[in-house]
Amino acid sequence: MTPTITAFATSPDRGKGLARDMRVRWALEEVGQPYDVRLVSFEEMKQPAHLALHPFGQIPTYEEDDLVLFESGAIVLHLAERHAGLLPDDANARARAISWMFAALNTVEPPIVERSMIGLLERDETWYAQRLPAVEGRLRKRLGELSRRLGDADWLDGAFSAGDLMMVSVLLRSKSSGILDEYPNLSAYVARGEARPAYQRAFAAQLAVFETQGRA
Ligand code: GTB
């Protein structure tokens, strides 16, 4: 059965690929698995039918036969485990690639989301200017550490893996702050991810949603 994922009917990013269905689409494209997309409105996400799939009323979800998954990390890991191409065969290298997936989601994504949210939600608050340096400091600390580890390598641990897919997906959300540009090797790493044909196909598919639905 062709799996079905859910995505925003009208993504706030206007098709820039920042919503978390993008990483699932990218993984599906990397492994060559065709998929269907069910678009949901913000209202539909909070209705019982969607809450039965996702306890927090969010996207993305993933349905395949009688399996229902939520959490983008769990979905990408599921795809990587069941298809060739996103995890190495060697058991230790596989475990390390999975570590990088968790690092992307648990260690690098939080300061990126914090920076993004303060810009979106707190820009007009009296404390914005006072809080921003600390928030950006936490982000720079993480990106500096990641930049040092990546060095001049193409990918985090040998060949491209689900760890890189997740890390690039997470880093993309920090681009608009301008802070990613301070780390040329990370910018180049993200650009390498974006240049992958599978990424391009996934990006085009989610942009097409905005082109057809989002402009309405
Ligand atoms: N931990 C979960 C996962 O990884 O799957 C988080 C899922 C999540 O945050 N989903 C968001 C959602 O459904 C969409 S991705 N939000 C609706 C809600 O909670 O009611 C977050 C997101 C949204 C928009 C942009 N953007 O426009 O730039 C970027 C990221």
Residue 60 preceded by cis peptide, ω within 30: yes
Q: What is the pLDDT of residue 213?
A: 80
CATH class of 91-196: mainly alpha
Which of 11, 58, 61, 171 has the most ligand 1 atoms within 8 A of CB, as the residue to mutate? 58
Q: What is the pLDDT of residue 47?
A: 98
Ligand 1 centroid, distance to 71 Cα (angstroms): 10
Q: Is 167 exposed, middle or buried (0-12, 13-18, 19+ CB in 10 A)?
A: buried
Task: Give residue 214's pLDDT band: very low, low, confident or very high (50, 70, 90).
Answer: low
Which of 5, 6, 20 has the most ligand 1 atoms within 8 A of CB, as the residue to mutate? 20
Rounded average pLDDT over 106-130: 94
Amino acid at 21: D
Q: What is the pLDDT of residue 215?
A: 56
Which one has a higher pLDDT value, 158 or 120? 158
Q: What is the pLDDT of residue 156?
A: 98
Q: φ and ψ at 20, to 5 degrees?
A: -80, 0
Domains 4-85+198-215 and 91-196 alike in fold: no
Q: Which helix (H) or strand (E) holds 166?
A: helix 162-172
Summarised one tens digit per residue, pLDDT across range 6-64 is 999 999 999 999 999 999 999 999 999 999 999 999 999 999 999 999 999 999 999 99
CATH architecture of 4-85+198-215: 3-Layer(aba) Sandwich (3.40)
Residue whose entry in the numeric block shows the structure tokens 């909070």? 46
Residue whose entry in the numeric block shows the structure tokens 């060095």? 151
Q: 18 CB under 6 A from ligand 1?
A: yes
Pairing assessment for the beta strands 61-64 and 4-8 based on DSSP bridges: antiparallel
Ligand 1 centroid, distance to 49 Cα (angstroms): 18
Q: 161 CB under 6 A from ligand 1?
A: no
Summarised one tens digit per residue, pLDDT across range 50-105 is 999 999 999 999 999 999 999 999 999 999 999 999 999 999 999 999 999 999 99
Q: 114 CB under 6 A from ligand 1?
A: no
Every domain of the chain and the residues it spans? 4-85+198-215, 91-196
How far apart, in whole angstroms, are the C-alpha atoms of residue 137 and residue 108? 13
Which of 7, 5, 4 shows the shortest CA–CA distance to 214? 7
Q: 20 CB under 6 A from ligand 1?
A: yes
